[in-house]
Structure 1
Amino acid sequence: MNQPKPMLSVAEALDFLLAGATTISETETLPTLEANGRVLAVAQQSQLNVPPMDNTSMDGYAVRAADCASGNATLQVTQRIPAGHVGQPLAAGCAARIFTGAMVPDGADAVVMQEVCVAGKDGERDVVTINHAPPSGEWIRRTGEDIKAGSTILEAGARLRAQELGLAASVGLAQLPVVRKLRVAVFFTGDELAMPGEDLKPGAIYNSNKFTLRGLLENLGCDVTDFGIVPDTLTATRETLRRAAAEHDLIITSGGVSVGEEDHIKPALEAEGRVNMWQIAVKPGKPLAFGEVNSAAQSGRAFFLGLPGNPVSSFVTFLLFVRPFILRLQGVQNVAPKALMLRADFTLAKGDRRNEFLRARINADGGLDLFPNQSSGVLTSTVWGDGLIDNPPNNPIAKGDLVRFIAFSDLMY
């Protein structure tokens, strides 16, 4: 009698997935303004220093520090330098009125903030009394202080957020090479599924997974093709797999990955490609299909990930396994979400034999409250919660224990 294979741990399953991910090689060049959320294909270097010249970080007066050593010096104001203008060399005994971002004139080695200065007149001359003895370099941002010319500012594989785009723009990069968008096909199995707006027949439920998964995929910058709800037959499932594989990098399904007579994903995948992984010691989740469709073909080959049908199971397994797999296909190397150690303000008397991911939220005292119903069908827990507690197998939690918490904000983008 064949013994069932032991379930993979979460870490083993994730390592297996990432080892099988092949980064997309095709790239495109986009205007920097249009590259938000994309993955950088080639490292970028700066061709200039930032800032490109010594400039002031304060409104005030550019001076020679030696002229102000007394802490009560009166200097003639000989020029006014707004940002974007170049002043004249500063003579000894003189000051220049200067504004934030303006180039510090030759001869000046400090800027004194205007709050410790008193402007006045000496006859026809403009003067300023400096009630401060500035050290050399005060309030001056030096050339290249932020970025040196020739240095790498963005590494290949970086996901471009607002701050990366701003950094690229700060060195004059008008365009960026990015990995082309991942083409993902999705379909959903189950004769019980109906779409919102339709009347529910006896035994039917609305297809919430369609909306959850498409939203998650769009957050990750994927081009999504939706093949809709596929009838619960082996023939229909196989035919949809073939069509989806022809033009997509990845196929994701929801439902039909268990072992019942009406669960056709596994036999369809075995017929059209291969199954590499099946059972994972995770809760919610456990059944997760990973494989390839048309694996022997030179073209039309696609990765496959089959998620459970229960809405929370589908949601959590996407965050834990599909998200990092997609990021690696896009060329991102660091795909692990950040985790915090936070205090549990609840008691979990008995841990599950599987690695459990509990929906929780941060309370006003900085601790974690647990959603009272952790069932895999209770989608409200994902809206109520701020993230997931990563609880090891067979681990009870006592009130006051520190637990590993991963925020949804670090799992969805």
Structure 2
Amino acid sequence: MTTPTLNDITSCLSAYDPDALPVRDAQRVIRDFIEPVGAIEQVALLAALDRVLGADIISPISVPAHDNSAMDGYALRGADLSGASPVTLAVVGSVFAGRPSGVIPGSGECVRIMTGGVMPAGCDSVIPQELVAAIGADSITIAPNVIRSGDNRRFAGEDLMAGSAALRTGKVIRPADLGLLASLGIATVPVARRLRVAFFSTGDELRSIGQPLDAGCVYDSNRYTLHGMLTRLGCEIVDMGVVRDDPQALEDALRHACEHVDAIVTSGGVSVGAADYTRQIMAKLGDVSFWKIGMRPGRPLAFGRIASNGHSAFLFGLPGNPVAVMVSFYFFARDALLRMMGADAPLPMLKVRSAGAIRKKPGRTEYQRGILEHDGEGRQSVRITGSQGSGILRSMSEANCMVVLHDEQGNVDAGDLVDIIVFDGLI
């Protein structure tokens, strides 16, 4: 099958206009153009955290392997319970977790059992020790209607049946997944290999930390935020520093990157005021589109695939303003990079009431920095951080969430529900 070009994909959009592209259309184009890397490697279980699962994990055993007790108490036959009067049962043995017993209680008998202990044959219920009305030397008395038949019994395979899928391909492995895999006795895990991503900033005005800050120059912050965001995604990263505003320097940087990595993320050089050679070089190296996206902040974006000496890499050309870089990364590059790893982990949105009014014109998507708060009764609300200029990185640091105001949305009144994306664990 022939790999589709960007033109093939954009031709499927109605009224495609690269100078006025809605967020959802840009996201769709990127999603349809991206291809997973596909390479799988085996890693030790403890090294699998935050990696993308490369194949289904089929459970080799049933979990639990046997019917067992969910409580410390007494295992009994539900048929011995009476709904009207107390019941006294003889205690004929004990069962401890990990030490199955051959005791088989008959009618009118029970067995003392610990949490996790294998249910004796014939028993189908457990009364917790604290609910027993009276405990004698060799008997217990149970008050009426304290438990029902079948209570506090875990069934074999209740968590997982042998032969069923414990985890599916594409899942990002979290701490609970490590525990689940350990419960199955699985020591190594197939995961997608780490994505190799190069990143650099462009601009003669940029200086790296440690360099003198000449008149008219600024320190490059974008590489540091990109370093953090790419690291959070679990990428193997290559920091290429600052590339000056020079056609040959840019071409050399792109060629070198594309020959060694899977994806390239740049900041700056894609706005209307950028030199014409940016488009010419990217067009020379591959299939790249330049868009003006209906969003704020982060309007300019370049996306495509470039090639050099038989190697290719996906390219994400982000704007240069610090907040615009972060917003563009999270709403365009993040999902694409995860798809390259074989994962499908969309940003989780929550609906929260706005603490105040927010001005917004329909026709573009706005991402405003917000602070999610709780009042004394535990109710949540969100307020924006104040000035939303795309160069005010401090407001991004102060915020703990992003308020997403969609394309068709207008002004927000205090008390209206808005969508937010919480930063915790994300940035």
TM-score by length of 2: 0.88
Aligned pair partner of 1:287 in 297, 300, 313: 300
Give 2:222's aligned amino acid.
N
Tell me, in whole angstroms, the C-alpha distance in 2 between the residues paired with 1:163 and 1:5.
43
Aligned to 1:94: 109
Distance 1:242-1:23 versus aligned 2 partners, 3 A rule: same
- 1:189 equivalent to 2:205? Answer no
- 1:357 equivalent to 2:367? Answer yes
Tell me, in whole angstroms, the C-alpha distance in 1 between the residues paired with 2:285 and 2:123.
74
Q: For the Cα contact (< 8 Å) 2:364–2:406, is it kept in 1?
A: yes
- 1:199 equivalent to 2:209? Answer no
Aligned pair partner of 2:48 in 29, 35, 46: 35
Aligned to 1:348: 358
- Written as runs of structure 1 = structure 2, the 5 A alignment for 1:305-344 is 305-333=316-344, 335-344=345-354
C-alpha distance after superposition, 1:321-356 (max 9, x if no partner)? 0000001111123x4222222212222344275311
Distance 1:80-1:397 versus aligned 2 partners, 3 A rule: same
- Written as runs of structure 1 = structure 2, the 5 A alignment for 1:227-306 is 227-260=240-273, 262=275, 265-294=278-307, 299-306=310-317
2:266 is paired with a residue whose SS is strand
Distance 1:343-1:261 versus aligned 2 partners, 3 A rule: closer
2:328 is paired with a residue whose SS is helix
2:279 is paired with a residue whose SS is helix
Q: Give the deviation of 1:132 after TM superposition.
A: 4.7
Give 1:316's aligned amino acid.
V
Tell me, in whole angstroms, the C-alpha distance in 1 between the residues paired with 2:257 and 2:271.
21
Q: Which runs of 5+ in 2 are unaligned?
A: 1-16
- 1:57 equivalent to 2:70? Answer yes
Q: Give the deviation of 1:119 after TM superposition.
A: 2.6
Tell me, in whole angstroms, the C-alpha distance in 1 between the residues paired with 2:206 and 2:385.
27
Distance 1:350-1:304 versus aligned 2 partners, 3 A rule: closer
Tell me, in whole angstroms, the C-alpha distance in 2 between the residues paired with 1:372 and 1:109.
62
Q: Give the deviation of 1:130 after TM superposition.
A: 2.8
Distance 1:5-1:220 versus aligned 2 partners, 3 A rule: closer
1:200 is paired with a residue whose SS is coil
- 1:76 equivalent to 2:87? Answer no
Tell me, in whole angstroms, the C-alpha distance in 2 between the residues paired with 1:110 and 1:172.
29
Q: Give the deviation of 1:78 after TM superposition.
A: 2.5
Tell me, in whole angstroms, the C-alpha distance in 2 between the residues paired with 1:332 and 1:87.
46
1:149 is paired with a residue whose SS is coil
C-alpha distance after superposition, 1:375-395 (max 9, x if no partner)? 001112212222222213472
Moved more, 271-280 or 108-117: 271-280
Tell me, in whole angstroms, the C-alpha distance in 1 between the residues paired with 2:235 and 2:287.
24
Tell me, in whole angstroms, the C-alpha distance in 1 between the residues paired with 2:195 and 2:360.
41
Give 1:67's aligned amino acid.
D
Aligned pair partner of 1:127 in 122, 125, 139: 139
Tell me, in whole angstroms, the C-alpha distance in 1 between the residues paired with 2:37 and 2:18.
32
2:37 is paired with a residue whose SS is coil
Tell me, in whole angstroms, the C-alpha distance in 2 between the residues paired with 1:409 and 1:11.
24
Give 2:417's aligned amino acid.
L
Tell me, in whole angstroms, the C-alpha distance in 1 between the residues paired with 2:206 and 2:253.
17
Tell me, in whole angstroms, the C-alpha distance in 2 between the residues paired with 1:350 and 1:314.
21
Moved more, 341-350 or 7-16: 341-350
Q: Give the deviation of 1:68 after TM superposition.
A: 4.0
Q: Give the deviation of 1:28 after TM superposition.
A: 0.3
Identity %: 38
Q: Give the deviation of 1:410 after TM superposition.
A: 7.2
Q: For the Cα contact (< 8 Å) 2:201–2:223, is it kept in 1?
A: yes
Give 1:301's aligned amino acid.
S
- 1:399 equivalent to 2:414? Answer yes
2:49 is paired with a residue whose SS is coil
Q: For the Cα contact (< 8 Å) 2:270–2:290, is it kept in 1?
A: no
2:311 is paired with a residue whose SS is coil
Tell me, in whole angstroms, the C-alpha distance in 1 between the residues paired with 2:393 and 2:350.
24
Q: Give the deviation of 1:115 after TM superposition.
A: 0.7
Q: For the Cα contact (< 8 Å) 1:351–1:395, is it kept in 2?
A: yes
Aligned to 1:219: 232
Aligned to 2:193: 180
Tell me, in whole angstroms, the C-alpha distance in 1 between the residues paired with 2:276 and 2:384.
33
Give 1:127's aligned amino acid.
S
Q: Give the deviation of 1:167 after TM superposition.
A: 2.0
Tell me, in whole angstroms, the C-alpha distance in 2 between the residues paired with 1:165 and 1:238.
43
Give 1:131's aligned amino acid.
A
Tell me, in whole angstroms, the C-alpha distance in 1 between the residues paired with 2:120 and 2:276.
76
Q: For the Cα contact (< 8 Å) 1:338–1:410, is it kept in 2?
A: no
Q: For the Cα contact (< 8 Å) 1:257–1:264, is it kept in 2?
A: no
Distance 1:128-1:155 versus aligned 2 partners, 3 A rule: same
Aligned to 1:109: 124
Distance 1:326-1:282 versus aligned 2 partners, 3 A rule: same
Aligned pair partner of 1:384 in 398, 401, 405: 398
